[in-house]
Amino acid sequence: MKHLHGRAMPFFQIDVFGNAPFKGNPVAVVLHADELTDAQMQEIANWTNLSETTFVCDPTTSDADYRLRIFTTHSELPFAGHPTIGSAAAVLKHGLQPKTPGRLVQECARGLVPLRLDRDRIFFELPEPEFTLPSERELADALGALGVSREAVRNLSIVDVGAVWLTLQLGSAQDVIDLVPDMNRLARATERCTGLTVFGLYAPGGPTSVEVRSFAPGDGVPEDPVCGSGNGCVAAVIRRNGVLPASRYIAAQGRVLGRAGRIEVEFDPAGAIWLGGTAAVLVEGSIALGR
């Protein structure tokens, strides 16, 4: 493999969606990554061993502030949520001046993704969701892996926002928390998806409105601590099926993994879905290539 001997590039690790240090979902961000090959990006992502590692490159269109490539430990994704927010925080920390004050536009394989800078929060506009239904075999395998019956499930859909999540609702937030999936079986059940995202509602007065868990064992992430694209698919299902009457809500994710993620969701009058949360820089330095 070709190496860029002696070169070091700015490197960040950003904690996204956390309500306290080390309680969100980390993403590794490499800046000035244009000269890296696809294989080098994948090698670095495998080495960081995080759910995603991103590489910030020059945009190919004047409409974007930067171009982002997103890798799991196994493959490249066209879009992902917490890497989008974390990468925005990294480029701002490194000194990027937005073309439009208070706004950023990310170019990625899914297209152009607008971001809004809102005090200590960063929001992204969810790419337009596309809905399909799983086959009966996929559904049976997924429910078997979760250990739940068909009667326990509602608002079921495969939702494509760049990342593709089989998304379903259970009877309550506690039902979601109590899940103990069979990861090997779940990986087989979601072969044509990024993974499976499950959500349930809290009763009025609960800690948040929604509890979410996202599983992607086939992509090397048995459970994602706090998943932006998974929450985007949940939001799309909630809006489409009228699950919550509110124009905004807060979702919790990560409790089972010892995290405390909080995702803010807004439905704007024009029909767009915005998701946002905190992004804290926990590691800042450089990554060296070659010896």
Give me the active site residues, please.
Answer: 52
Which residues, 6+ apart, have CB-to-CB distance to 178 below 8 Å?
none
DSSP secondary structure string for all residues of the chain? ----TTEEEEEEEEEESBSSTT-SEEEEEE-S-TT--HHHHHHHHHHHTSS-EEEEE--SSTT-SEEEEEE-SS-EES--HHHHHHHHHHHHHTTPPPSBTTEEEEEETTEEEEEEEETTEEEEEPPPPEEE---HHHHHHHHHHHT--GGG-EEEEEEESSSEEEEEE-S-HHHHHT----HHHHHHHTTTSSEEEEEEEPPTTSSSSEEEEEEEGGGTEEEESS-HHHHHHHHHHHHHHT---SSEEEEEE-GGGT--EEEEEEE-TTS-EEEEE-EEEEEEEEEEE--
Q: What is d(CA 24, CA 232) in angstroms, rounded to the nearest whole number?
A: 17
